[in-house]
Structure 1
Amino acid sequence: MSTADETSPRTSDLLRDDFPSVETAAWRREVDRLLKGAPFDKAMIASLAGGLEVQPLHTAADLADGIWGASLPGQSPFLRGARAGASGPVPWLVAQELAAADAGAFNLALLHDLERGQTAINLRLDAAGRRGLDAGTAPPHDVGRDGISIGGLVDMRRALASVDLAACPLLLQAGAATLPVAAMLAAIARERGTALPLLTGVWGCDPLAVAGGPAPALTIDTLYDHVALLTRWAAAEAPGLCTIVVGDGPWHEGGADAVLSLGLLLAGAVAALRELEERGLDPAACAPHVAFQASLDTDFFLDIARLRALRVLWSDVLTACGVESTRQRAAWIHARTGDRMLSRLDPHTNLLRATTAAMAAACGGVDSLHVAPWDSLLARPGGAGRRLARNVQLILGHECRFGAVADPAGGSWYVETLTRQLGEGAWAVLRQIEAAGGLRAALASGLVGSLVGEAARRRTARLARAQEARVGVNRYCAARPANDDDAADGCDCNTEWLAERRAAAASATAALLTIDPRAEAPTQLRAVGDAAVRGGSLASLVAALGSRPDAIQGATWTLPPTGRDAEPFETLVARATLLATRDPRLVRAHCLCLGDAARTGPRLDFARGCLAVAGLDITVGAFHEDPGAAVAEARARDAAVVLLVGLDESYPTLGAATASLLAGGPRPPLLLAAGRPSASTEPLDRAGVSRYLHLGSDLVAELGAVLDTLGGA
């Protein structure tokens, strides 16, 4: 096979001769000509939530200088990632959360998954444990819900049996119980002869998030005391551990856009530095032990930009705080696919959304990742969903080879511009929060709740109008979706299991724990671990740690309410399902097509899609030019809802005549029409049409009103 010599022209050079470069000004003149007077900004520039703008064309001229300018992977300010180059097929930790309430079941699932691609332990305590309670002190509904139930050291040993803690990083989500659980983990490591410097992962909590959650057992000041203690211990004995956690989960799940979410995440990090400095830890001592938790959504490019901007801004914050070490300014980021994008409607589409978010994480350069299984909202999530979620990460690494390239999105002028815009907007949010006294003060004053609430309202409105699409939820919905499973409560326990947990908790020893606050951090943590070894229960350890005489009592607050994007639409479908049990006719909707099929077809597709959002039983007939034939077809279908689908010019005549006949006949249906209300639809109003479905309609409100009418029929 012959090869070209070094003097042969490259294909790219030949193509460049055939396609000469075009100046941006010339391109703009041609666009203006084609727009024929339409405003360029309105026709060609797209707006994203948070005030971001997407231009139709991005060029090298859009690249910025300074912290947003050109840099290399692994170099400050880490725009292009904390790693200097490719570091294996899957350079991030595969850190899947495991839905198992029982310690034994958790261990079986963990060992199974570690043999099949998982590379980190993601230990999430149940709702009771994250509040600082256990099976003996928590409400029954919280035991085993959304995590593993840990009552003491015995349970922890069972959960981690046969797992090499030195070889497998551990990410801990223990909320108010973080300090006693970390002490248990350290005690297990000592029992096994594992050197503490070999431990890696994240053993910490976000006090702001915990204190604002549901009834935690500890105050925020006590939680920050615990974080400070853990950080001193890690610096002395386990330098590979992160102990200061800052997450955007409360803001993201509350409805914040990318700019606001990133700004509040940074504000949380600054608040943590401030709190720990008051406890004797300067920013340079804290920096190596900070871990960020980022929640991802379905906007691929925006999530990539958000992760890149986070690294840059965090490096800038630490520089301003006087942290001189370049490596200490590199952000450690754990990402998880956000819960708000999951849906019980057509739940297999969750896999598509999770894959999109996981791709953004891989391109954005995260350090660890959890991908939610597609069936995690169902009452009985199965092993197949867990396997697919894990394999998404493995495919991205081994087959798509995202790990073989440092900063895959780097150099894209669009991504670079979006990163800068997002970062500048987030920095403005950070300044606003700092001007209000910091995140803690802004939470207490209600400023954060107001900002997140307003962003959530805008997001909800976009979703209700299908301006932001969710496949299977507000676009391309299956008519009358099957309700195959009940809603998940996150718990795989039963009454017998719960009784066993309560009996075990009742027999546990109360923690006899006294900590000398003047002692070194390793001594204090070992004292907590020794109390656990003596049989102290989780709740008693938390209670003992919460009664420290040096703890400062502080106010708590309520975090913004959280909710999934699909919930309003799931409510519509649930209401329709309930109506169907009463009378199947009540959810029968017929699209009555008027006029020319070729011209009306697109409107029919749109109208049918709108009705499917509510889970109605939709039928479609032929196209009619005669009102009598149209009415005969509608009556034969015996639907409670008839949606007239025609062109605007046909509504005053054909549409009005058809509507009058239907409204005046036996068992008159609820009449709707496809199209925007205007002068041409006034005859329809007089004929009995009550509502209109059009591009931009608030589908939740309109279809909710339809179900209200049907429910009262």
Structure 2
Amino acid sequence: MSIEHMKNTSFDKVDFQQWKDLTEQSLKGKPYETLLTKTFEGIELQPLYIGETPTNNASHIQQMKGESGWTIAQQTIAKDGATFIQQLRHSLERGNEAIVYDGMLKIDWTATDLDELSSYFSDYPVIFLNIDKSDPVLEAFDRVPHEVRSSVNGIVDCHDWTAPVGYDNLRTIGVDTWNIHHQGADAVTELAFTLAEASQLVTQSTSFEAFSNQFFVRFAVDTHFFMEIAKLRAFRLLWKAFSTAFEQTEVPEIPVMAVTSVRSYSKLDPYVNLLRAGNETFAAILGGADIITTHPHTVLTEPDASSIRYARNIQLVLKEETHVDKVIDPAGGSYFIEQLTNELVEKAWALFLQLEQEEDINQFIDRRLAGICQERQGEVAKGKKALIGTNAYAELTDTNFHDWEGIEAFQRLAIPFENMRKQFSVQQPKTVILTFGLLKEFKPRADFVTSYLFAGGVKTTWSPAFQRVEEAIEWMQHEQPEYIVVCAQDDQLHAVMDELLERIPANCLVDVAGKVDEPSAQRWKEKGLNGFLLNGQDKIAKLQSIYSAWKGVDDK
């Protein structure tokens, strides 16, 4: 083919219907709709985005963000003031860019500690969170010389606290979504809640300008990567609409803080939390956060020097390796993210207007969160949402179940599995996967059962592969298991189960892996079968029933 012929050759344009027809062929009978994913925000994620190009919000977001990059704001963790100063100095020398203090640590401060702490205020942004008015750390602001107070900038989240004279660049009015996020809130609810809270706060201020000069927001960022990117971008567009509603011709810039969520964090395999932290941090960066805090992977049980360093280095590595700090809105122009951003803006604004009509906003939010939280927990319990190392690919390793007082986690998704693991770590039945047939026949079900029980902390062993019930009974009389799960192909299962249930020791609890026809299931249950282990089953409910049934047998 000549070069001229190649230049004049074009491909036939493929429309959406052709793509859909080809997709349904590859699905082998399943409808195209099975590829749609419905989110908690009420948004349907499409397998392919085609058609009219969504509004490109990049220029608007760039104007409101102002400049590229973000501030690395790693929390300093210590038990006393002197150690806090030492750790702060250490982190600032190694890449941290802010003074982050959380009042939940309840640190005792000496006058010397406060003097030294205040000496950093003019050089680094100050981020003080969850501060009570009685916290002595606030005295540090009184120790800063008047002539340098105007150079101090940052955020102090303390109800009814007024900064001393001279702190013109310190923000003290804000909305923090941490609590509602960890009670199950979706992105739409978080955005609408933020606007509703801002609406109440602005009415308490002398003017919109005075309010916006003091205002900040803080979002928890979860592992739903693209949704979290869109959430932060959507907020800036919503803030523009909010400002316009208050007749502002110029949209004031406000700092958008982001902190990695621990809603998906787990104590059961804490190193997976490192992956979650990296995912959430990168989403916050691409979403355009101005200030980012990455929680250590051991934050649930208490961070140590290593986990704190890993958390700080996540941001440092992303900044050095990706160069996204050179771009104001790195996600701008992406068809998928722009579409998500626009949908979040529309839904969040509609919910905000609804909240404005509610007599009791908190009561309305609580009802909404209760339903979402229950649905989230149900997805994890049934395996629809995978928490690696917790409800999927779990490992039976020693677990630290300690709760660190430095963080409030509320309704973490892993808590039911952690409680189950803790229960079985104290006492559990001697468990055997009883196999029949050839290895290649029962192995898929045996692997499934092993993974299923590991999620609850139940140790298992596999029996030899039996062909006859008599062999299995003889082996069991020697091993004396307290709980067995029978694994075999369907035809083999039906061939052995009736006889097995008639001859099995009375003090042994029996389950079957897999689904069978209703008549067989009913007949086996009448002969003493406890139940079935199934894919998509509520694991928490099933594991608890195993424990209760075993304890009932054990107590006889």
TM-score (norm 2): 0.91
Structure 1 residues 354-365: aligned runs within 5 Å: 354-365=277-288
Determine if contact 1:660/1:687 at 8 Å carries over to the other structure. yes
Counterpart amino acid of residue 431 in structure 2: A
SS of residue paired to 2:410: coil
Q: Deviations over 1:458-497 (max 9, x none)?
A: 111111111111111111111x3213x45033379xxxxx
Query: Is 1:447–2:364 an aligned residue pair?
Result: yes
Q: Deviations over 1:123-177 (max 9, x none)?
A: 1123xxxxxxxxxxxxxxxxxxxx142467555325x16x532220010114331
Counterpart amino acid of residue 549 in structure 2: T
Counterpart amino acid of residue 198 in structure 1: S
Compute the displacement of 1:684 (Å). 2.9
Compute the displacement of 1:315 (Å). 1.4
Q: Deviations over 1:302-321 (max 9, x none)?
A: 11111111111111111111
The residue that corresponds to 1:670 in the other structure is 509
Q: Deviations over 1:350-373 (max 9, x none)?
A: 111111111111111111111111
- CA pair 60-239 structure 1, distance change in 2 beyond 3 A: farther
SS of residue paired to 1:642: strand
Determine if contact 1:255/1:562 at 8 Å carries over to the other structure. no
Counterpart amino acid of residue 28 in structure 1: K
Determine if contact 1:315/1:331 at 8 Å carries over to the other structure. no
Determine if contact 2:484/2:510 at 8 Å carries over to the other structure. yes
- CA pair 31-101 structure 1, distance change in 2 beyond 3 A: same
Counterpart amino acid of residue 481 in structure 1: T
The residue that corresponds to 1:576 in the other structure is 424
Query: Is 1:619–2:461 an aligned residue pair?
Result: yes
Gaps of 5+ in 2: none
Structure 1 residues 641-652: aligned runs within 5 Å: 641-652=483-494
Q: Which of 227, 238, 252 in structure 2 is aligned with 1:313?
A: 238
Q: Which of 168, 181, 198 in structure 1 is aligned with 2:151?
A: 198
Identity of aligned residues (%): 26
SS of residue paired to 2:52: helix
Q: Deviations over 1:389-446 (max 9, x none)?
A: 0001101111232323333322322222222222222223212211104xxx322xx2
Q: Deviations over 1:555-592 (max 9, x none)?
A: xxxxx99222111111111111111xxxxxx3332112
Counterpart amino acid of residue 202 in structure 1: I
How far apart in 1 are the matches of 2:147 and 2:477? 77
SS of residue paired to 1:109: helix
Counterpart amino acid of residue 313 in structure 2: N
Q: Which of 415, 428, 444 in structure 2 is aligned with 1:602?
A: 444
Q: Which of 105, 126, 147 in structure 2 is aligned with 1:170?
A: 126
How far apart in 2 are the matches of 1:17 and 1:675? 55
Query: Is 1:432–2:354 an aligned residue pair?
Result: yes
How far apart in 1 are the matches of 2:73 and 2:81? 18
Query: Is 1:481–2:434 an aligned residue pair?
Result: no
The residue that corresponds to 1:459 in the other structure is 376
Counterpart amino acid of residue 196 in structure 1: R
How far apart in 2 are the matches of 1:353 and 1:164? 32
Query: Is 1:49–2:49 an aligned residue pair?
Result: no
- CA pair 701-71 structure 1, distance change in 2 beyond 3 A: closer
SS of residue paired to 1:334: strand
How far apart in 1 are the matches of 2:300 and 2:402? 6
Q: Which of 337, 341, 362 in structure 1 is aligned with 2:260?
A: 337
Counterpart amino acid of residue 182 in structure 2: E
Compute the displacement of 1:291 (Å). 0.9
Determine if contact 1:296/1:357 at 8 Å carries over to the other structure. yes
Q: Deviations over 1:299-350 (max 9, x none)?
A: 1111111111111111111111112223x1x342111112322221121111
TM-score (norm 1): 0.72
The residue that corresponds to 1:303 in the other structure is 228
Counterpart amino acid of residue 537 in structure 2: S
Q: Which of 21, 25, 28 in structure 2 is aligned with 1:29?
A: 21
Compute the displacement of 1:608 (Å). 1.4
How far apart in 1 are the matches of 2:171 and 2:261? 22
Query: Is 1:250–2:250 an aligned residue pair?
Result: no
Determine if contact 2:103/2:135 at 8 Å carries over to the other structure. no
The residue that corresponds to 1:553 in the other structure is none
The residue that corresponds to 1:591 in the other structure is 433
Compute the displacement of 1:692 (Å). 1.4
Q: Deviations over 1:91-132 (max 9, x none)?
A: 211111122121111111100000001000111123xxxxxx
How far apart in 2 are the matches of 1:632 and 1:411? 68
SS of residue paired to 1:593: strand
Determine if contact 2:56/2:332 at 8 Å carries over to the other structure. no
The residue that corresponds to 1:220 in the other structure is none
Compute the displacement of 1:203 (Å). 2.1
Q: Once superposed, what is the RMSD of the aligned Cα atoms?
A: 2.9
Q: Which of 155, 161, 169 in structure 2 is aligned with 1:240?
A: 169
Q: Say which structure, 1 or 2, has more relative contact order (CA 8 Å, 6+ apart).
A: 1
SS of residue paired to 1:291: strand
The residue that corresponds to 2:142 in the other structure is 187
How far apart in 2 are the matches of 1:402 and 1:92? 10
- CA pair 84-589 structure 1, distance change in 2 beyond 3 A: same
- CA pair 598-84 structure 1, distance change in 2 beyond 3 A: farther
Query: Is 1:324–2:163 an aligned residue pair?
Result: no
The residue that corresponds to 1:708 in the other structure is 548
Determine if contact 1:101/1:491 at 8 Å carries over to the other structure. no
- CA pair 19-587 structure 1, distance change in 2 beyond 3 A: farther
Counterpart amino acid of residue 468 in structure 1: K
- CA pair 179-104 structure 1, distance change in 2 beyond 3 A: closer
The residue that corresponds to 1:383 in the other structure is 305
How far apart in 2 are the matches of 1:255 and 1:33? 38
Query: Is 1:396–2:301 an aligned residue pair?
Result: no
The residue that corresponds to 1:5 in the other structure is none
How far apart in 2 are the matches of 1:633 and 1:402? 62
- CA pair 491-456 structure 1, distance change in 2 beyond 3 A: closer
More deviation, 692-701/149-158: 149-158
